[in-house]
């Protein structure tokens, strides 16, 4: 078990199986030591977390949804690394899309759910550049979708 998986276990988190794409794309692409992971939608226990932040969902509920996206990102990284999470060197960048109302302006607080989780699990290797963007809607009506760029060995 890698240090990352040990840390996840201490936190009571088990990574889900990496999900298959829902359309005509692949879940990740590796170029050199850079891994590009396709957007992961907010899901918990196999169920999509749906709704607009600023309407049906609070900032805290949105942040919890963003955390599930980060968990799914790590699952994809693990799959890309042949099951060996110790190959993950750092999180380079996240781009978070928040299904939010037109007047909602706290997208960064929502995406912090993913960022804070990755720093908690990975320490300094989890610190990353980031964008947090409002979306009028997201696939399947989910609350959050996040894509990531990672450095791997």
Task: Give the model's pLDDT for residue 114.
Answer: 98
Total residue count of the chain as it appears in this document:
153
| Tens-place pLDDT, residues 141-152 | 999 999 999 999
pLDDT over 90 percentage in the chain: 98
How does DSSP assign 36-94, residue by residue? EEEEEE-EETTEE-BS-BTTTB-HHHHHHHHHHHHHHHHHHHHHHTTT-GGGEEEEEEE
- Spell out the CATH class of 27-152: alpha beta
Task: Give the model's pLDDT for residue 2.
Answer: 83
| Tens-place pLDDT, residues 41-58 | 999 999 999 999 999 999
Q: pTM of the prediction?
A: 0.97
pLDDT over 70 percentage in the chain: 99
Residues near 82 by beta carbon (within 8 Å), at least 6 away in sequence: none
């Amino acid at each position: 078990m890698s240090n990352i998986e040990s840390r996840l276990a201490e936190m009571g988190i088990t990574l889900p199986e990496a999900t298959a794409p829902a359309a005509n794309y692949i879940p990740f692409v590796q170029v050199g030591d850079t891994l590009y992971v396709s957007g992961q939608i907010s899901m918990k226990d196999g169920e999509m977390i749906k709704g607009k932040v600023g309407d049906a969902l609070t900032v805290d509920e949105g942040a919890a949804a963003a955390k599930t996206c980060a968990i799914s990102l790590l699952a994809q990284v693990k799959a890309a690394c042949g099951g060996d999470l110790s190959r993950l060197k750092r999180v380079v960048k996240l781009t978070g899309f928040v299904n939010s109302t037109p007047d909602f302006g706290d997208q960064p607080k929502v995406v912090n759910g993913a960022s804070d989780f990755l720093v908690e699990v990975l320490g300094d290797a989890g610190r990353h550049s980031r964008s947090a963007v409002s979306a009028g809607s997201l696939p399947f009506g989910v609350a959050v979708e996040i894509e990531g760029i990672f450095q791997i060995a």
